[in-house]
């Protein structure tokens, strides 16, 4: 059933969730080859771009709570993709050599994802949707 045929079509609650889940699926597909979920992949990309970045900063940038970041980092540590060092109350997160080797693949996945997203929505609309989402994220 297309969502537009549902009685709940005009409910922002289900719409927002449905859209998020569909994008999640698209992203999961794109990053499949890396054996990382999109969240883990983005966190890793962030750490690769800013080695030593702190969990709190990651939380801000990815719009997730600190506790979620801790959990994501734990999993990446298990996979030997990041390392934590703690001094005082601050923690720094660094990519391992293994992670650095993945840089190119991660970028490809990222492009695959954007490509799919743009393809499905159309060039103009995909940009417009992004704008809408950005405005919503800021205003809510």
Partner DNA sequence: AAAAAATATTTGTATATACAACAATAACTC
Partner DNA sequence: GAGTTATTGTTGTATATACAAATATTTTTT
Interacting residues with DNA (CB under 7 A): 17, 21, 25, 37, 39-40, 54-57, 63-75, 84, 86-91
When asked if residue 94 is in the footprint of a copy of itself (CB under 8 A), the reply is: no
Cα–chain center distance at 24:
9
Q: Site for a copy of itself (CB under 8 A): which residue of 54, 77, 112, 121?
A: 121
Say which residue the tokens 């417009």 belong to: 128
CB of 56 or CB of 101, closer to a copy of itself: 56
Give exposure, 31-63, as e/b (b: 16+ Cβ within 10 Å): beebebbbbbbbbbbbbbeeeebebeebbeeee
Partners of residue 85 on adjacent β-strands: 92
Q: Site for a copy of itself (CB under 8 A): which residue of 33, 52, 60, 90?
A: 60
Number of residues in contact with a copy of itself under rule CB under 8 A = 53
CB of 9 or CB of 98, closer to a copy of itself: 9
Evaluated on CA atoms 36, 56, 114, 28, the torsion sign reads positive
Compute the least distance from the CB of residue 127 to a copy of itself, in Å.
10
Compute the least distance from the CB of residue 109 to a copy of itself, in Å.
11
CB of 7 or CB of 89, closer to a copy of itself: 7
Q: How many helices (H) and strands (E) does the chain have?
A: 7, 2
Contact 39, 64 (CB under 8 A): yes
Cα–chain center distance at 8:
28
Where does this chain bind a copy of itself (CB under 8 A)?
A: 1-4, 6-24, 26-27, 38, 42, 46, 49, 60-63, 113-114, 117, 120-122, 125-126, 128-130, 132-140
């Amino acid at each position: 059933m297309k969502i537009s045929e549902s009685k709940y079509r005009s409910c922002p609650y289900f719409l927002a969730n449905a859209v998020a889940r569909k994008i999640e699926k698209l992203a999961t597909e794109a990053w499949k080859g890396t054996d990382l979920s999109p969240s883990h992949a983005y966190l890793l990309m962030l750490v690769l771009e800013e080695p030593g970045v702190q969990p709190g900063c990651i939380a801000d940038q990815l719009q997730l709570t600190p506790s979620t970041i801790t959990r994501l980092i734990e999993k990446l540590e298990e996979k030997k993709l990041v390392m934590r060092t703690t001094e005082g109350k601050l923690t720094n997160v660094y990519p391992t050599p293994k992670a650095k080797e993945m840089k190119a693949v991660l970028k490809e996945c990222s492009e695959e994802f954007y490509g799919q997203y743009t393809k499905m929505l159309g060039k103009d609309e995909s940009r417009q949707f992004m704008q809408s989402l950005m405005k919503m994220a800021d205003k809510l």
